[in-house]
Amino acid sequence: MTLFRHVALLAAFAIPATALADASFWPGERPAASGRPAAAEPAAPAASAVEPPPEAASAPRQPPALMRELTALIESRQVNEMRTTYNGPFAAALFFEPENLNYYVALLKGQDFWWIGRTTDAKEAETLYTRMAAQTVTLAAPDLEKMQLDARIAATRRQLEQARRRQGELAEQLQAQRQVIREGVAAQARLQSETRQLAEERARLQQQLQSISATIDALEAAANKVPNLGAVPGASEPAAEPARSRQRPARQPSR
């Protein structure tokens, strides 16, 4: 958006209570040793005009003359915007009025005129514009710094919110992991207890098995032992077989 349209909205606005206090900005004045502006040098009538800044105590209810004049010229398209410098919310603009050969230099912040200068000297207009453009760098520094700080603060708050969410997620995750570990440890403890009980039961059963096996071995040994039937009471002994005489065969006489 060009400064024409931007300034066209300013007719209903008065100059703010704060304005530039640097005396070097006002044409026809030289700074004194004390820092206050010295008496203005004589200037050609109607050659240059500067709208002085308002008092800091209160702002006028109606726009000053140069503001009304420049605003009317902008609204009626009777001035040409030669160049404009923007720095943050501040702008320095140079206008040229072809009909009366007037140059206007304006310093604005947002929709407020801070300073307006008028001259018929092109070189003086360029000097004023250059000074105003340079001043916008210094004037805009706090606004630009605040803008960046606001952005960094907003980014830090977003990061802090993300960190807090992450912290909550990790805390919940850690609590869940600890719960799983506790349940796992308890399950392992129960399993170890059951394992010990099973080992004791196995040892007991093994001992019973060994005892029964020994009994079985003894019974098998007793069952396989040949009994001594002669020792059975009341059993008759077998009758003795009569002795037989053995006779040798007679020899045959030799022939």
Q: What is the pLDDT of residues 63-106, one digit of tens each?
A: 688 899 999 999 999 999 999 999 999 999 999 999 999 999 99
In the predicted model, what is the mean pLDDT of residues 25-39?
35
Tell me how long the chain is: 255
Residue 222 banded pLDDT, cuts 50, 70, 90: confident
In the predicted model, what is the mean pLDDT of residues 188-205?
92
Q: In what order do the strands lie in the sheet with 90-97?
A: 48-50, 112-119, 102-109, 90-97, 80-87
Q: Within 13 Å, how many C-alpha atoms sit on residue 151's CB side?
A: 5
pLDDT of residue 245: 57
Tell me how far apart the alpha carbons of residues 195 and 107 are, in angstroms, rounded to a whole number.
Answer: 91
Could you give the C-alpha distances from 57 to 19, 62, 71, in angstroms and in order? 11, 15, 25
> What value does the CA radius of gyration of the chain take, rounded to a whole number of Å?
62
